Structure 1
Amino acid sequence: MAFPPLTHVAVTVSDLDRSTRWYTALFGTEPVLDEDEGSGDFHHTVYAIGGGQLFGLHTHTGGSPDGAFDARLAGLDHVAFTCADRAELEGWVTRLDELGITHGGIKDAHYGSGVSFRDPDGIALEFFAPPTPS
């Protein structure tokens, strides 16, 4: 039996309105879902980002003690979005620049190339392309 692909990723954010504006600009689309989960303790906003995949923003009443994301703690390190090749990756670098999103430029490695950036809460994100065949 093959392992199934991811259907969605959800991240918890400190300011849902700010993050919704930021991710709407990044994804170039409006959320497909924006609702409370009934009790008022949880709200989520969800984007359809292609290929049947969803990306969700969650907020919880009370929040975390300091609200800061830290990749060194157990849990999420980063979320990477697939690019078909380096040309597509370069296109995303241009798009990040247009949006005023700070990034680390394209970094090349034997296993592929990526550009890293962070959302308003400091959650680590990346665009990643496989290595170019030689």
Structure 2
Amino acid sequence: MTTLNHVAVTVRDVDASTPWYRALFGSDPVLDEHTDAGFRHVVWAFDNGTLFGIHQHDRPLEGEDFTEFRVGLDHVSFGCENRAELQAWETRLDELGISHGGIVDAHYGSGLSFRDPDNITLEFFAPPG
């Protein structure tokens, strides 16, 4: 199987979401452009080569705020090496004033869930041990 190359989520206001994600990731995006395909995208690159992008389409959005209870995306999870890295992210979220559910431990690993400005569920996840 190949690795995950990128994830892109649609946001209501890319100008409002860009600084939020910039603060979360602690880095500037590697790309910010309006495409001929009718959307603007802002993209971050992670050390492992995975890309994460936010998109704002030219056409009006349909529907209400994001919910994981509709068909489609449930959440996006960012991998952590271990629980110590997960705890560092918990501290970082607290510093940024981003509310979260705290670290939840399970037999398959530990997760830290939170939401972006459009209510999209995001998570940091560490394997067990």
TM interval, shorter chain, is: over 0.9
Report what 2:67 is aligned to: 70
Percent sequence identity over aligned pairs? 60
Q: What do you get for the CA RMSD once the two structures are aligned?
A: 1.0
Deviation at 1:131, TM superposition (A): 0.6
- Please give the per-residue CA displacement for 1:15-67, whole angstroms capped at 9, x wherever unaligned: 1011100000001111111111125x311111112200110110112332344
Q: Aligned residue for 1:120? A: 117
Kindly indicate whether residue 15 of structure 2 is the aligned counterpart of residue 7 of structure 1.
no
1:55 matched to 2:55? The reply is no
Structure 2: which amino acid aligns with 1:69? F
Partners of 2:60 and 2:47 lie apart in 1 by 30
Partner of 2:31: 33
List alignment gaps of at least 5 residues for structure 1. Answer: none
Matched, 1:131 2:124: no
DSSP 3-state at the match of 1:50: coil
Q: Is the 8 A contact 1:14 1:63 kept in 2?
A: no
- Which runs of 5 or more structure 2 residues have no equivalent in the other structure? none
Amino acid corresponding to residue 24 of structure 2 in structure 1: L
Name the CA shift for 1:67/1:35 in 2 (closer, same or farther; >3 Å): farther
In the alignment, does 2:102 pair up with 1:97?
Answer: no
Runs of 4+ in 1 over 6 A off after TM superposition: none
- Provide the aligned length of Structure 1 versus Structure 2: 129
Structure with higher Rg: it is 1
Aligned partners of 1:90 and 1:42: how far apart in 2?
36
Query: What one-letter code is carried by the residue in structure 1 that aligns with 2:9?
Result: V
The whole-number CA distance in structure 2 between the counterparts of 1:63 and 1:117 is 26
**Is 1:109 the equivalent of 2:106?**
yes
